Amino acid sequence: MDLQIKGKKALMAGGSAGMGRATAERLAEAGVDLYISARREDRLVQSAKEMSEKYGTTVTPIVADSSTDEGRSALFAACPDPDILSITIKPPAPNGNFLNVTPDMWRSSIETTLVGPIEIMRNYIPGMKERQWGRIVNIATFSAKNPMIWRLLSGPARSALLNYTASVSREIAGHGVLINNILPGMFRTEGFDENTQAYADAFGLEPTQEVCLPHFLEHNKIPAGFLAEAEDMAPMAALLCSPLARFIVGQNIVIDGGQHQSIF
Ligand SMILES: NC(=O)c1ccc[n+]([C@@H]2O[C@H](COP(=O)([O-])OP(=O)(O)OC[C@H]3O[C@@H](n4cnc5c(N)ncnc54)[C@H](OP(=O)(O)O)[C@@H]3O)[C@@H](O)[C@H]2O)c1
């Protein structure tokens, strides 16, 4: 399918690994002029080089923490006017006992998963409106819609993000600027593996893949029968970034292998 985005400018905020990288790959493949950001420079620069060589398109790395004012300023300076914006930010790790979640932990969750994406969108929406075209896709989490007691520092703040985008997307859709959210379920990414220690702590397990992965699969029944790869969500993200999605406004698309049962 031709996504009709060749030559457009795209920013993947959080694009050096996991689902951000997989989305960036699909956009690069479609011929966009790509910018990717992340906090860790080495992996970011390497990812940009690999994608640029693979797809023959420009991929500009930007070292920036999307959860801070300083990081966002660096992002805005390096890429002032993207047509396409996708955002993903890593929230704090899995929590243990809910009674041990402190105000500082809530603040960190809100700064990363709520204020970060909102501030990035707020910066870019006026330019997109002026140009009468834009696509924004947040990569959030299915626990925004289906609460999980061990993901309190990810789900609740993302529920607020969904609430924000539900309103704002309707406000700007008439200008050709669309916001939609992807809500991923369980994906085996670099970030997933980095959470092994925190997952083990939350459930009182030995922090090894051999112990944690079977425990995880036992407690997260996935009807599709497997833990997803980042590439399993990227085609949907790329579609939402294209002109083909022009009638899809303010939607929350769950990609979870059927893990959570709900009609809407
Ligand atoms: N994997 C899952 O099973 C799962 C389940 C539900 C929801 N999600 C959500 O899906 C999103 C993507 O997850 P993933 O597993 O693909 O993560 P990942 O493998 O850790 O990739 C995240 C990407 O974003 C970058 N990033 C993270 N925090 C950032 C920040 N503050 N500023 C700038 N860049 C940042 C990372 O690079 P640096 O670390 O170098 O910054 C990396 O490039 C996350 O929001 C996560 O909460 C994941």
Mean pLDDT by 10 residues, the chain (264 residues): 97 98 98 98 98 98 98 98 98 94 98 98 98 98 95 98 98 98 97 94 93 93 97 98 98 97 87
CATH code where residue 64 lies: 3.40.50.720
Q: Which amino acid is at 108?
A: S
Torsion angles phi and psi, residue 106, rounded to 5 = -60, -45
Do residues 257 and 222 lie in contact, with contact meaning Cβ atoms separated by under 8 Å?
Answer: yes
Which two structure tokens, joined as six digits, stand for 247? 């009638």
Specify the pLDDT at position 264.
83
Residue nearest to atom 1 of ligand 1 (CA): 187
Tokens 């080495």 correspond to what residue?
42
Question: What would the 3-class secondary structure string for the chain be?
Answer: CCCCCCCCEEEEECCCCHHHHHHHHHHHHCCCEEEEEECCHHHHHHHHHHHHHHHCCCEEEEECCCCCHHHHHHHHHHCCCCCEEEECCCCCCCCCCHHHCCHHHHHHHHHHHHHHHHHHHHHHHHHHHHHCCEEEEEECCHHHCCCCHHHCCCHHHHHHHHHHHHHHHHHHHHHCEEEEEEEECCECCHHHHHCHHHHHHHHCCCCCHHHHHHHHHHHCCCCCCCCECHHHCHHHHHHHCCHHHCCCCCCEEEECCCCCCCCC
CA 212–ligand 1 middle distance (angstroms): 20
Dist. CA 87 → ligand 1 center (Å): 9
Residue 163 CA to ligand 1 center (angstroms) comes to 21
Number of structural domains the chain divides into: 1
User: Ligand 1, residues 40, 69, 79, 88: which to mutate, most atoms within 8 A of Cβ?
Assistant: 88
Does residue 198 belong to any structural domain of this protein?
no
pTM of the model: 0.98
Tell me, yes or no, whether 264 lies in a domain: no
The verdict on residue 37 lying in a domain is: yes
Provide the Cα torsion 78, 46, 50, 10; round to 10°.
-20
d(CA 153, CA 236) in angstroms, rounded, equals 26
- Evaluate: CB of 232 within 6 angstroms of ligand 1: no
In a domain, 100, yes or no: yes
Domain membership of residue 42 (yes or no) is: yes
Does the CB atom of residue 63 touch ligand 1 within 6 A?
A: no
Tens digit of each residue's pLDDT (9 = 90 or more) over 62-103: 999 999 999 999 999 999 999 999 999 999 999 989 999 999
Cα–Cα distance measured from residue 137 to residue 182, given in angstroms and rounded to the nearest whole number? 7
Of the candidates 151, 162, 137, which has an alpha carbon nearest to the alpha carbon of residue 185? Answer: 151
196 found inside a domain = no
Is the minimum distance from the CB of 66 to ligand 1 under 6 angstroms?
A: yes
CA distance 149 to 144: 12
Query: What residues make up the domain containing 162?
Result: 9-187+230-255
Q: Is the CB of 181 under 6 A from ligand 1?
A: no
- Which pairing describes strands 84-87 and 59-63: parallel, antiparallel, or unpaired? unpaired
- 134 found inside a domain: yes
Q: Is 89 in the pocket of ligand 1 (CB under 6 A)?
A: yes
- 257 within ligand 1 shell (Cβ under 6 A): no
> Could you identify the atom of ligand 1 that is nearest to the CA of residue 91?
47
**Per-residue confidence (pLDDT) for residue 22, from 0 to 100:** 98
Q: Residue 189 C-alpha to ligand 1 middle, in angstroms?
A: 9
Do you know the residue count of the chain?
Answer: 264
> Is residue 220, in this structure, part of any structural domain at all?
no
The candidate with the shortest Cα–Cα distance to 82, out of 235, 239, 230, 241, is 241
Question: What pLDDT does residue 170 have?
Answer: 98
Nearest CA to ligand 1 atom 8: 141
- Residue 88 CA to ligand 1 centre (angstroms): 6
